[in-house]
């Protein structure tokens, strides 16, 4: 049952829910207040009526004690009821044998002695009850002994009554007024609830309109700078942070698309240009061979570029499964240096090792990362330069590999961007030294796959230091 009610409630809009909650609580508050007032008024009236009859009983007792004559009783019992303008009061005095000594005129027709509760010795003044006759009139009846200290055959019984019909009608009318107040309050609370809910939801409507104006061409817009309520400020900030990420991703995607188009266009144009030149007239076998070798080189460059992009895409989508093993990092790096030895000898570059360490990593990806770094060091190192390779184990048993060259270096303003795809520090260097611009991006992706870190420090004309840390 609770689930059904909950599901039914969740179908309503937030405005509807707020209206229902506000109306319900307002109605409950009105109901509680009016019930309390009704109880208080009813209780006070009953207490006043009971106290009035007790006072009359005490007056009759005093008359009986001081002046046991019929004159005093007639003044109190017969004439007192007529003297009260708005209160119909009745009194009766009965002897020990049950005979009526004196009573208010017409009392015998309205209220017979048997209607009254019998007096009680232990509670002589508190026995009362209400009755309603055939005419619809309501009476409060009370009985008591004339003498509270002794009870014998001569002890008289005092019966008093009060017509409470008027008060009962007042209470009934008040109850009807309460019902009307509750119905009116419910309607009024519902209308006010709708108004308050709509006013309260206006900021949410405004923030919805603001977000609706943001398109792919307007991702630079932000909504957090507007004046929002405190509750929506957090939402606006979170939305702006999401926009920052979307804008960054969108810019990267746009830049990536432009870069890949540019990177592919150059070798394709070279292929087409050389083919057109070769076909423009008859060439010798040597010329055709040279064109084919050039085309093969450009084809290899395109293949490397595509393979690198595919690797980065798989790494970002977590499609690469690591096959980690523990191996000696120095031995693996020496194999890579041996492969690049001829390229290093052309520039008379020396490799210097310091230390040794075992690393837990995927051997293939480890080799790929080191190949990219060694290749860069050779490309950008000066003639007669040197490349230092520092290997050590950190305090938390991670493997630290640092590759330091004394090459041309990188300016500080470019350091934060060297891991971006296709990023070139400057055009002149990019043209003089061929590369895909993806090497450091691949290294960073490999380190992220291993939950490791990569740091770079560089100074112009002093060289570059790159540190890799593979966790244990």
CATH number of 98's domain: 3.30.450.20
- Tokens 């009821």, residue located: 81
| Residue 374: closest CA among 328, 337, 335 | 337
Per-residue pLDDT at 390: 93
Q: Which two tokens stand for residue 342?
A: 């001829």
* Cα 403 from Cα 337, distance rounded (Å): 12
How many structural domains comprise the chain?
A: 3
Residues 110 and 236 grouped into a single domain: no
| Residue 360: closest CA among 449, 472, 448, 468 | 472
Q: What H or E segment, with its residue span, contains residue 129?
A: strand 127-132
Residues 286 and 396 grouped into a single domain: no
Q: State the DSSP code for 321.
A: P
DSSP β-ladder status, 399-405 and 386-393 = antiparallel
Confirm whether 49 is domain-assigned.
yes
Per-residue pLDDT at 250: 77
Cα angle value 314/315/317 (rounded, 5°): 65
* Cα 258 from Cα 450, distance rounded (Å): 30
Each residue's pLDDT tens digit, 413-463: 888 788 877 666 654 444 445 556 677 888 888 888 888 999 999 988 888
Each residue's pLDDT tens digit, 273-286: 878 877 777 778 88
Report in angstroms the alpha-carbon separations of 425 from 29, 252, 416, 420, 437: 72, 17, 11, 11, 10
Residues 301 and 334 grouped into a single domain: no
* Cα 186 from Cα 20, distance rounded (Å): 11
Per-residue pLDDT at 428: 47
Residues 352 and 440 grouped into a single domain: yes
Range of the domain at 412: 325-470
Q: What H or E segment, with its residue span, contains residue 401?
A: strand 399-405
Per-residue pLDDT at 470: 93
Q: How many H-runs (helices) and E-runs (strands) does the chain carry?
A: 14, 12
Domain boundary among 316, 339, 371: 316
Residues of the chain with pLDDT under 50: 1, 8, 85, 427-432
Residues 272 and 158 grouped into a single domain: no
Per-residue pLDDT at 81: 59
Domain boundary among 316, 338, 361: 316
Residues 165 and 24 grouped into a single domain: yes
Per-residue pLDDT at 466: 92
Residues 343 and 299 grouped into a single domain: no
Per-residue pLDDT at 296: 82
Domain boundary among 316, 347, 382: 316
Q: What pTM value is reported for the model?
A: 0.47
Residues 242 and 168 grouped into a single domain: no
Per-residue pLDDT at 82: 57
């Amino acid at each position: 049952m609770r689930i059904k009610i909950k599901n039914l409630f969740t179908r309503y809009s937030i405005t509807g829910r707020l209206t229902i909650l506000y109306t319900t609580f307002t109605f409950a508050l009105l109901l509680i207040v009016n019930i309390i007032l009704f109880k208080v008024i009813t209780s006070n009236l009953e207490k006043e009526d009971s106290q009035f009859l007790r006072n009359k009983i005490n007056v009759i007792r005093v008359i009986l004690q001081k002046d046991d004559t019929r004159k005093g009783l007639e003044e109190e019992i017969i004439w007192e009821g007529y003297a009260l303008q708005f209160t119909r009061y009745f009194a009766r005095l009965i002897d020990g044998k049950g005979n009526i000594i004196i009573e208010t005129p017409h009392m015998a027709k309205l209220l017979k002695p048997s209607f009254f509760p019998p007096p009680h010795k232990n509670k002589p003044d508190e026995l009362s009850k209400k009755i309603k006759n055939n005419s619809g009139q309501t009476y409060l009846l009370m009985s008591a002994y004339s003498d509270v200290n002794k009870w014998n055959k001569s002890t008289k019984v005092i019966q008093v009554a009060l017509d409470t019909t008027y008060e009962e009608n007042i209470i009934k009318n008040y109850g009807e007024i309460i019902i009307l107040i509750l119905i009116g309050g419910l309607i009024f609370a519902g209308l006010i609830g709708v108004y308050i809910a709509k006013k309260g939801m206006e900021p949410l409507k405004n923030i919805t309109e603001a977000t609706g104006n943001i398109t792919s061409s307007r991702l630079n817009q932000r909504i957090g700078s507007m004046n929002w309520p405190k509750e929506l400020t957090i939402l606006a900030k979170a939305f702006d942070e999401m926009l920052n990420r979307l804008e960054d991703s969108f810019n990267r995607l746009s830049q990536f698309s432009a870069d890949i188009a540019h990177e592919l266009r150059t070798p394709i144009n070279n292929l087409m240009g050389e083919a057109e030149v070769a076909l423009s007239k008859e060439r010798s076998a040597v010329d055709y061979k040279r064109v084919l070798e050039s085309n093969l080189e450009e084809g290899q460059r395109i293949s490397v570029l595509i393979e690198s992009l595919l690797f980065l895409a798989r790494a970002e989508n977590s499609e690469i499964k690591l096959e980690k093993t523990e191996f000696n990092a120095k031995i693996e790096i020496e194999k890579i240096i041996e492969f690049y030895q001829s390229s290093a000898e052309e520039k008379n570059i020396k490799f210097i090792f310091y230390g040794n360490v075992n690393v837990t990593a995927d051997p293939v990806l480890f080799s790929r990362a080191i190949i990219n770094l060694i290749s860069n060091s050779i490309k950008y190192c000066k003639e007669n330069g040197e490349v230092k390779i520092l290997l050590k184990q950190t305090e938390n048993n991670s493997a630290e590999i640092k590759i330091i060259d004394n090459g041309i270096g990188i300016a500080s303003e470019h350091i934060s961007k060297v891991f971006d795809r296709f990023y070139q520090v400057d055009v002149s260097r990019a043209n003089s030294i061929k590369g895909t611009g993806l090497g450091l991006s691949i290294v960073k992706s490999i380190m992220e796959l291993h939950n490791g870190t990569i740091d770079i420090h560089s100074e112009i004309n002093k060289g570059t230091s790159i540190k890799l840390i593979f966790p244990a």
